[in-house]
Amino acid sequence: MASDGAHIVFINTIQSNFSDIITRTFINITFACRYPVNYMVQQPNGENKISVDIRTITLNTEDGNFSVSMMLYKDPNFEDMWTTVPFLTLEDNIFVKVNMIPGHLIIQLENCWSTPTKDPSHAVQYSFIEDSCPQVVKDETLSVIMNGGGAEAIFRIQMFKFVGISYNDIFLHCTVQICHSTAAVCKPNCTNYGRITRNKRETTPFPTHTVSYGPIKRKLADNGEANINKGKLPPVETLILGGLLMAFLVITGVFGTLLLQSRRAYPPMQAQLTMSHFHNSEVAS
């Protein structure tokens, strides 16, 4: 086989059979076949088109079930989980993990907030994560450790309380979204915090779901919170009870004074009636 750049040449030879016994003629024919390197494929009728058979296959899709849970831990390593109702002081940290099963997809925390009751739509709310980013700029009481990087989201927040003596419990709520993409796309960009702006992620939209945990009860410190309450005005209930007790004492004093005055005036009158009765009895006898 040879080539001159424009053609490919195949060379071969045909020879007569050789015999070791006798021979009469000798045949030796050499031939070659030359083919061009480039060919143009053309359909009939002069149409230079290639017909492509397109087949569309429709696959049935079904909704999958995902289990999302929120858990609280006692340590920053997320090893010692709370199995009872947590009692925390205002100086303690809350270590929260939101986990999803199965774990082959990525979970995002969209919004996280707290309420004094188990109702997520309670009028009194404290929001600390919005659009997958911390709401407060450079807040040392909140740290989002992982969000949009795997099958679990982790954050730490310092214990707090709602203003008002009737609010002693805390309930945490988070809206979560399943991100069906890579971790580089699902992870939120929270770098532009000076202007409180957040970059939107180009992800496939999935419906969000709310997961909650509670209650978290506040534990009074041994001496710290007691000292904080010193110098403050007493609660409203204490003032009401004190006023009722004062009114009761005043009313009791008034009735006691009237009763004492009536007793002082009654004995002479009773003695006078007794003497009068005694004299009348004597005259009759």
Residue spans of the domains in the chain: they are 2-36, 67-190+206-218
Provide the pLDDT for residue 52. Answer: 61
CA distances from 264 to 45, 258, 269 (A): 140, 10, 10
pLDDT level of residue 199 (50, 70, 90 thresholds)? very low
How far apart are the C-alpha atoms of 128 and 9, rounded to whole Å? 79
Q: Report pLDDT digits (tens) over 252-272.
A: 877 777 777 766 655 554 434
Please say if the pLDDT value at position 238 is more than 80: no
Residues 6+ apart with CB under 8 A from 124: 115, 116, 162, 167
Q: What is the DSSP string of 190-252?
A: ---TTTT--BPP-------EEEEEEEEEE---SSHHHHHHTTSPPPHHHHHHHHHHHHHHHHH
pLDDT (0 to 100) of residue 207:
66
Tell me which H or E stretch contains 151. Answer: none
What percentage of the chain's residues is helix, strand, coil (to nearest 5)? 20, 30, 45
Q: How confident is the model at residue 73 (pLDDT cuts 50, 70, 90)?
A: very high
Going by DSSP bridges, is the β-strand pair 209-218/87-88 parallel, antiparallel, or unpaired? Answer: parallel
CB 225: neighbour CB atoms within 10 A? 15
**Distance between CA atoms of residues 216 and 84, nearest Å:** 10
For the domain bounded by 67-190+206-218, which CATH number is listed?
A: 2.60.40.4100
* Cis peptide leading into residue 267 (ω within 30°): no
Mapped onto helix, strand or coil, the DSSP state of residue 57 is: coil
Instruction: Give me the pLDDT at residue 227, please.
Output: 44
Question: Which DSSP category does 275 fall into?
Answer: H
Gap between the Cα atoms of 160 and 259, Å rounded: 56
**3 state DSSP class of 175:** strand
Partners of 253 in the beta sheet? none
The whole-number pLDDT of residue 51 equals: 62
Give which of 196, 203, 158 is closest to 180, Cα–Cα.
203
CB 167 within 8 A of CB 218: no
CA distance 69 to 187: 20
pLDDT score, position 48: 57
Cis-peptide into 116, omega within 30 deg: no
Query: Distance between CA atoms of 186 and 122, rounded to whole angstroms?
Result: 30
Distance CA(106)–CA(188), nearest Å, equals 12
Residue 35's DSSP bridge partners are 8
* pLDDT the model gives residue 24: 54
127/144 Cα distance (integer angstroms)? 14
Lowest mean pLDDT among 154-158, 162-166, 271-275: 271-275
pLDDT the model gives residue 72: 95
